[in-house]
Amino acid sequence: MNFLRYVFIFLSLMLMSPVLSFAQEMVVDISVEGNRYIETPAIMAKIKSKTGQPLSKRQISKDVQKLFSTGYFSDVYTEGERVSGGIKLIFVVVENPVIASLSIEGNEQVPDKKLKPGLKLKPGFILSPRSERLDTNRIRKVYLEKGYYQADVKIETSFLDDGRVDVVIRIEEGEITFIKEIRMIGNTAFSDDDLIQSLASSESNFGSWFTDRDVFNRDRFDADAQLIQQFYQDNGYLDARVESVRLMLSPDKKNFYLGLSIYEGDYYTIEAIELSGDIIPSHKELMDKVKMEVGNMYSVSKLRQTIAALTERVGDEGFAFANVTPSFHRNIEKNTLVVAFDIEKGREVYVERVEIYGHTKTKDHVIRRELRQNEGERYSASNVRRSKERLGRLSYVEKPRISTPKGDAPDKINLKLDVDEGKSGTFSAGITYSKLNDLAFTGKVEEQNLFGEGYRANISADVGGATTNYTVGFVNPYMFSDDVSGSINLFRTQTDLQSFVQYQQDSRGGSAGLGLALSEYNSYSAVFSYTETTLWDIPSTASYGLRSQEGKNVTGEIKQTLSRDTRDRVMAATEGSLHSLSFGYAGLIGDHKFMEFGLSSVNYQPLTDFWTLKTSFNAGTIRGYGGVEPPVYRRYSLGGTGSLRGYDYYGVSLVDPATLDVQGGEHKVTGSVDIIFPLPYMDKAGFRGAFFMDTGTVWGKSESVTESFDATKLRVSYGFAIEWASPVGPISMNWANQFNAQVNDQTQSFEFALGRGF
């Protein structure tokens, strides 16, 4: 037994001796071999094994894994060389190739500029399997978001003589995958059609073409469950929810079949509305802000509107951190709700500082003058909201963001305003065509933020065709104070209108005006204009009234306007309205004496996230006095974009029955309805479409014709329009049909024009 014990100890020592010897080996040098593009110091920075330390297999393994994780190498291994004093450790690397060039082929629907910026693969970078995998997945994701579920991405490489590699990303886009069918399960209160209308997704049909709703998008479908729940909760079903969603892709990847399983719950009406907590400023004022009514069905949208209105009203009393919490008390037997709002006002605070960030060109005071919340004042939630709205209306400010960090004292906050400056200046040139002006060359230089002071200036010219037009304009929106603006304009217009009327016209002149802000949304303006208009080339067969105006006509006119503007933005508005009432008086100087009254109203109402309803009305009347009639070129005719689509310029007017001279009317009225929507695949480029219906007429007394207003003579047009916010200005195209056209009316089924928007 003792012998066997000694043998066992001897063998154990023999087996352990190499380990003990290895553990005592020291690393005396570390080197890198095989690298060509990656510098040795960069590789050494990843290696944690150090000279002067014992050799560790575990650390060497970690170092190799670390080098692999960089993606720079296709192989990494180590060698050891025994030298005096220990071991020389050698890391041998095999580099992935460097990309010499990168190209993308087959991408017809998504341009290179949308794909390349986010790629890991770039010329001069290392080609690695990880980068290939990441970029393949990224490109597929871009195509999936656009509905291309058949898209396939392959990466092809070809090696050059110097070891670098050319990379080609080859894309097979396939076809868009559409939503073939949407099925609802569990719905009894509402039909499938009612629910599908509330979704962001849609089955393929004619209407869905205009919104891309029938192109499958996973994020959009995930949001549909919330939209279904909101639809039910807006219609009294407090507990409604989508219990599950299901989607199936057809084997050919051309269609999706979607399903939603719904739990409806019970229908509730509102039994009472209660307020509790900090009732500020008064119970009556807060109740006036409640959007819900006793006896009506429960609506989650009105609940949210009520919370926002109550929070803002309490916030107007200086409580920046007011909190409104709703609670429900159910009567299960009657299916009624008592909705209670608990108000916690928090601490009353004042604005210590207004800090503005992000502006480089715009002067600080230009932004500050738009703010309705000032330093040192008590915090007002509605003033902060309105400040953000006013900044959003500036063409050179994008995405204003307002936050309220704490100030230097418990009752102080700072108003932090972050803005992104957009392009304020534009230069455009091009060729335009319309039936009125024919083919013309146009050029325009416009600056919306001159010198960073918010001044607006423009110079434009349209040369060729039927019209030669030059204009120069300047506007100072805050000329004397925060409430007064000033403007000046000079122009010259030469027109050959003989395709429409029997004369040629040359006008030149200028105007100067002042504007006064009466309140946050209301304003008044007064503009004096001086115009010299020359008519010539009038045929001898024209009416006496027209021939009597041949030669130079001087008009001095003062025009005053009251307006109310609540639009969310000036261009491409989607909500709000613009109303104006104007009065013009000519006769202090010049050859003509007349008075003109005008009334206009434009309203925008969002129907959905995509569709906007626009309604407009315009009426005017012009009368001469002192025995002098208003000039023929100031009397009313209708036709064309911005007037009465589907009818030619001067196409609806009072016409001399003998000479067919367009004489114009003394009164006009027009109305229109537009349903506006973004065009699919083109909305980000500034394209919009609209279905429209216009109506209007003119009447009154002219030299040889007298007509009274007759509702049966209201002209009507309807059709489809496209507008593009192009670099040279808004371009519109109209396809129209006419209804109730009269004998002497001039119609047109298609119109292309620059400079008008809807």
Averaged confidence pLDDT in the chain: 87
Do 530 and 640 lie in one domain? The reply is yes
Strand, helix or coil at 622? strand
- Picking from 325, 344, 363, the residue at the C-terminal end of a domain is 344
pLDDT at 396: 86
Highest mean pLDDT among 18-22, 49-53, 408-412, 486-490: 486-490
- Picking from 318, 344, 370, the residue at the C-terminal end of a domain is 344
Domain assignment present for 661: yes
pLDDT at 2: 45
Q: Please give the Cα distance from 129 to 140 (Å, whole number).
A: 17
Instruction: Output the six-digit token pair for 735.
Output: 């396809």
Do 28 and 47 lie in one domain? The reply is yes
pLDDT at 423: 79
Q: Which DSSP helix (H) or strand (E) runs through 220?
A: helix 218-234
pLDDT of 12 over the 50 cut: no
pLDDT at 466: 64
Which of the four pLDDT bands, split at 50, 70 and 90, describes residue 525? very high
Do 79 and 112 lie in one domain? The reply is no
Q: Please give the Cα distance from 119 to 231 (Å, whole number).
A: 40
Q: Which of 154-168, 169-183, 468-482, 682-696 has the lowest mean pLDDT?
A: 682-696
The closest alpha carbon to 562, from 594, 526, 595, 529, belongs to 526
Q: Which amino acid is at 277?
A: G
Contact between 563 and 580 under an 8 Å Cβ cutoff? The reply is yes
Measure CA of the first residue to CA of the last residue in the chain; give whole Å: 108
Contact between 573 and 604 under an 8 Å Cβ cutoff? The reply is yes
Looking from the CA of 279 toward its CB, the CA atoms found within 13 Å total 11
Domain assignment present for 44: yes
**Partners of 143 in beta bridges:** none
pLDDT at 74: 86
Which residue has better confidence, 729 or 474?
Answer: 474
Do 594 and 632 lie in one domain? The reply is yes
The tens digit of pLDDT for each residue in 340-385 reads: 999 999 999 999 999 999 888 999 999 999 999 999 999 999 999 9
Instruction: Output the six-digit token pair for 396.
Output: 């050179």
Domain assignment present for 573: yes
**Quick one: average pLDDT of 684-688?**
72
pLDDT of 417 over the 50 cut: yes
The tens digit of pLDDT for each residue in 188-218 reads: 999 998 898 888 888 876 655 556 777 888 8
Contact between 645 and 707 under an 8 Å Cβ cutoff? The reply is no
Do 509 and 528 lie in one domain? The reply is yes
pLDDT at 1: 45
Instruction: Output the six-digit token pair for 267.
Output: 């229908």
Instruction: Output the six-digit token pair for 408.
Output: 């230097």
pLDDT at 20: 40
The tens digit of pLDDT for each residue in 240-278 reads: 999 998 889 888 888 889 999 999 999 999 999 999 999
Q: DSSP state, 630?
A: P
pLDDT at 393: 83
| % pLDDT > 90, the chain | 53
Here the CATH number for the domain that contains residue 301 is 3.10.20.310
Domain assignment present for 2: no
* Cβ atoms within 10 Å, residue 15: 9
pTM of the model: 0.67
Q: Please give the Cα distance from 557 to 528 (Å, whole number).
A: 6
Contact between 159 and 97 under an 8 Å Cβ cutoff? The reply is yes
**Strands across the sheet with 73-83, in order?**
27-33, 86-95, 73-83
The closest alpha carbon to 201, from 178, 184, 185, belongs to 178
pLDDT at 736: 93
Do 312 and 442 lie in one domain? The reply is no
The tens digit of pLDDT for each residue in 455-465 reads: 999 998 877 66
Which residue has better confidence, 608 or 515?
Answer: 515
- Picking from 283, 314, 344, the residue at the C-terminal end of a domain is 344
**Quick one: average pLDDT of 316-345?**
94
Question: For residue 416, what are the domain limits?
Answer: 350-421
CA angle 527–529–533, rounded 5-degree value: 155
Do 413 and 435 lie in one domain? The reply is no
Cα→Cα distances 757→424, 462, 672, 752, Å: 20, 18, 14, 12
Looking from the CA of 363 toward its CB, the CA atoms found within 13 Å total 10
Phi-psi region of 610 (alpha: psi -120 to 50; beta: other; left: phi over 0): alpha
Contact between 507 and 542 under an 8 Å Cβ cutoff? The reply is no
**Partners of 23 in beta bridges:** none
Contact between 692 and 628 under an 8 Å Cβ cutoff? The reply is no
| % pLDDT > 70, the chain | 90
pLDDT of 23 over the 70 cut: no
Q: Is 595 exposed, middle or buried (0-12, 13-18, 19+ CB in 10 A)?
A: middle
pLDDT of 698 over the 60 cut: yes
Q: Which amino acid is at 39?
A: E
Q: Please give the Cα distance from 136 to 140 (Å, whole number).
A: 6
Q: Please give the Cα distance from 125 to 102 (Å, whole number).
A: 10
Which of the four pLDDT bands, split at 50, 70 and 90, describes residue 502? low
**Quick one: average pLDDT of 636-640?**
91
Here the CATH number for the domain that contains residue 549 is 2.40.160.50
pLDDT of 5 over the 50 cut: no
pLDDT of 445 over the 60 cut: yes
Which of the four pLDDT bands, split at 50, 70 and 90, describes residue 681? low
Domain assignment present for 7: no
The tens digit of pLDDT for each residue in 559-603 reads: 999 999 999 877 778 889 999 999 999 998 988 899 999 999 999
Do 707 and 719 lie in one domain? The reply is yes
pLDDT of 684 over the 80 cut: no
The closest alpha carbon to 420, from 355, 353, 360, belongs to 360
The closest alpha carbon to 598, from 579, 618, 578, 613, belongs to 618
Domain assignment present for 407: yes
Domain assignment present for 582: yes
pLDDT at 10: 43
Domain assignment present for 42: yes
Contact between 258 and 182 under an 8 Å Cβ cutoff? The reply is yes
Highest mean pLDDT among 8-22, 594-608, 628-642: 594-608
Sign of the CA dihedral with 732 first, then 425, 678, and 178 last: positive
pLDDT at 14: 44
Do 474 and 526 lie in one domain? The reply is yes
Q: Which amino acid is at 217?
A: N
Number of folded domains in the chain? 6
pLDDT at 432: 53
The tens digit of pLDDT for each residue in 290-313 reads: 999 999 999 999 999 999 999 999
Q: Which amino acid is at 465?
A: G
Do 73 and 166 lie in one domain? The reply is no
Which residue has better confidence, 437 or 124?
Answer: 124
Which of the four pLDDT bands, split at 50, 70 and 90, describes residue 8? very low
Do 356 and 339 lie in one domain? The reply is no
Q: Please give the Cα distance from 698 to 248 (Å, whole number).
A: 59
Do 217 and 273 lie in one domain? The reply is no
Q: Which amino acid is at 338?
A: V
Concatenating the DSSP letter of every residue in 127-156 gives P-HHHHHHHHHHHHHHHHHTT-TT-EEEEE
